[in-house]
Chains A and B, each alone.
Chain A
Amino acid sequence: MAEPLFTLKNLTKTYKSGEVETPVLRGIDLSVEKGEFIALMGPSGSGKSTLMHILGFLDRITDGVYLFNGKDVQKMTDDELAGERSREVGFVFQAFNLLAKSTVIENVMLPMMYAKIPPAEREERAMEALRSVGIDHRAHYLSNTISGGEKQRVAIARALVNKPSVIFADEPTGNLDTKSGEAVLGIFQDLHEKFGTTIVMVTHELEAAEFADRIVRIRDGKIESDSRDHVKRTGGYYK
């Protein structure tokens, strides 16, 4: 069996605010293989977002072990973490987080700047990413002039453009209507099936989670269930 992409062993995360300690994650054991499409579910305050931030190198663990591709993430410096974010992961946020006054293609080219991709290659790669989510016709629109569903597709293109090992999506359909939401979920499914992209999606909607292969439920900082036996939903953009 192949090396897991993520391995978490008895991982804990505690926030300290003065004297008050708030445990958010209380011993998580999880491993994720390359090419999985996994949904992290749980009510708000369950720790699912914190877990995603830790997996995405945005936050550090308090105790336990986090191995990424066999490397101990705890031992990495801040700059090394930034490097991992640049090369290995792509983020899709609930609020899209596009630079409003930049064009769509400029937004998609942004991560390549930090990944030190030669400027000559950037435009073509950005167009390719936009094509793969079907939004290339909006390439030169200002990103605050397109619809929410379109924005989220641009955000997915931005997450894809550095060819990361994994895409993290934090409530990606939270700001979208049902139709656009399903289209976005369809894109994830498609990327997963066609290109074998690993996807970790945080959501509190079961309907959204059912697009994934595997659903991990978190409650009160612990894994409540981890199953693949739901009826998988399909649909969306390409279907």
Chain B
Amino acid sequence: MILSDLLKTSVTSLMRNRSRSILTILGIVIGIAAVMMMLSIGRSSEGLILNQVANLGSDLVFVEASSGDPMSGPPSPYIEQTLTLDDIDALNKSGYFSAVTGVIQSSTPITREETSKFVQVVGVNEDYLEVFPAEIASGRFLDQTDIQSYAKVVVLGKTVAEDLFGDQDPIGQTVKLKKVSLKVIGVFPELGTRFFQNQDEQIVVPITTAQRDILGLDNVTYIAAKASGDIDITKEEAQWVMRDSHNIDNPTADPALDDFAVSSQSDAVAIVGIVGGVLTILLASIAAISLVVGGIGIMNIMLVSVTERTKEIGLRKAIGATYKEILQQFLLESVLLTMFGGIIGIISGVGFSLLIGYIVGKFVDGWSAAVPLDAMVLGVLVSTTVGIVFGLYPARRAARLDPIEALRFE
């Protein structure tokens, strides 16, 4: 049997049962479309996170309180807050950093006359803008004197300034934060989001003032520092500086003994990569399940089709069809079904991904819909394979039929 005959025979019999064929491939269509969408969303969000991390700059080192293991995830409220202003001084004096700032964060209402709103108050020192570069729209930023003198001053994020002062110039005016009066010395321009925090909703105060007068704390949430030399050496040295500062005797550098963790942007990238990998495995398992379900549907329908066409198979054998020719005909039918299903699934999956990307992009800055090209190729391959695997059993059953019995079948 030549290839064109084989194709024509298979296509003809699929077309005769058009609605059944379409219903049969629905499982594969949905499976492949879901995989495409999940992969697209996964990649888009991974891209977004990596973009945010990359925006931080590759020369930053972060120190945070920790149970010790750098892979244990984000700081938990149950971890003892061990970082202090002394650690900032120690890191500054070590000479490995061009700028070091502590960061202390809390959510608090801010009031001006009758107007009040919730903001993110961020306590930092004068090096903050060197670590996280930003401009000042008007006024000035905090200086060393402000920090040392526990100055009651504040730099407002753009939205905060607009909400509280409208068209007025906020510089020199006073706002209230937990009964503490703060003088506005500067306003940021529009900064957008960083690490999913809207910086335009933040206000920045001296870290000393934040600790003593506003929040009543003596620790800092984390320390961010800009390395002046090689990032990996600096990271290593920062750990020794911190151990020294905390009086930790840890000559073997066992992270479990430390009460802090030092990380850099590359660590964050690695974690995102791990999370992405786990997600991909998860999605792949869901995909595998849905494709197995789809495949069983194909097998079921092909078995029905073989039984229905027993007489036809008997006739084909009587007029000279070989085992192989019958096998090929039925196998090709199931492969055509799944391949077609796969292609429809890919097209609809890409369509929905773009739609989702368009909608999410309206709410999230920097979100771009990823169309996973490799997944498209994989989708066609996988659906074709499903056709072969689940089509083989029915096709073998057809090919093995005894022609005499098959011709007598009613």
Spell out A's residues near B (CB within 8 Å): 53, 56, 58-59, 78-79, 82-83, 85-87, 90-91, 93, 97, 99, 101, 110-111, 113-116, 119, 158, 162
Contacts and interface: CB of A to CB of B under 8 A. Distances in A.
B1 interface: yes
Contacts of A56: 318
Interface stretch (B69-77, B298-306, B308-316, B344-352): B308-316
Given A97-B311, A116-B2, A58 B404 contact: yes
B315 A97 contact: yes
Given A113-B1, A114-B316, A116-B2, A58 B322 contact: no
A158 B317 CA distance: 14
B320 A114 contact: yes
A87 B319 contact: no
A85 B325 CA distance: 14
B318 A110 contact: no
Contacts of A99: 312, 315
User: Which of A111, A113, A115 is packed against the most chain B CB atoms within 10 Å?
Assistant: A113
Contact of A86 (B5, B16, B320, B403): B320
A85 B318 contact: yes
A78 B323 contact: yes
B14 interface: no
A86 B323 contact: no
Interface of B: 1-2, 4-5, 9, 16, 311-312, 314-325, 403-404, 407
Given A97-B311, A97-B407, A101-B16, A91 B320 contact: no
B320 A82 contact: yes
A-B pairs, top 4 by smallest CB distance, nearest first, are A86-B320, A114-B320, A82-B322, A111-B319
Given A79-B323, A83-B320, A114-B321, A59 B407 contact: no
Given A99-B312, A116-B2, A110 B319 contact: yes
Contact of A115 (B4, B9, B317, B320): B320
A85 B323 contact: no
A126 to B, nearest CB: 13
Contact of A85 (B2, B312, B320, B404): B320
A5 B340 CA distance: 49
Contacts of A116: 1-2
Contacts of A59: 404
Given A78-B323, A97-B315, A113 B407 contact: no
Contacts of B325: 114
Contacts of A162: 320
A93 B248 CA distance: 96
B403 A58 contact: yes
User: Which of B1, B5, B9, B318 is packed against the most chain A CB atoms within 10 Å?
Assistant: B318
A78 B311 CA distance: 19
Contacts of A101: 16
B17 to A, nearest CB: 10
A119 B4 contact: yes
Contacts of A79: 322-324
Given A53-B404, A58-B317, 20 more contacts: A58-B318, A58-B403, A58-B404, A78-B322, A79-B323, A82-B321, A85-B317, A85-B320, A87-B320, A91-B319, A93-B407, A97-B311, A110-B319, A111-B319, A113-B2, A114-B316, A114-B319, A114-B322, A114-B325, A162-B320
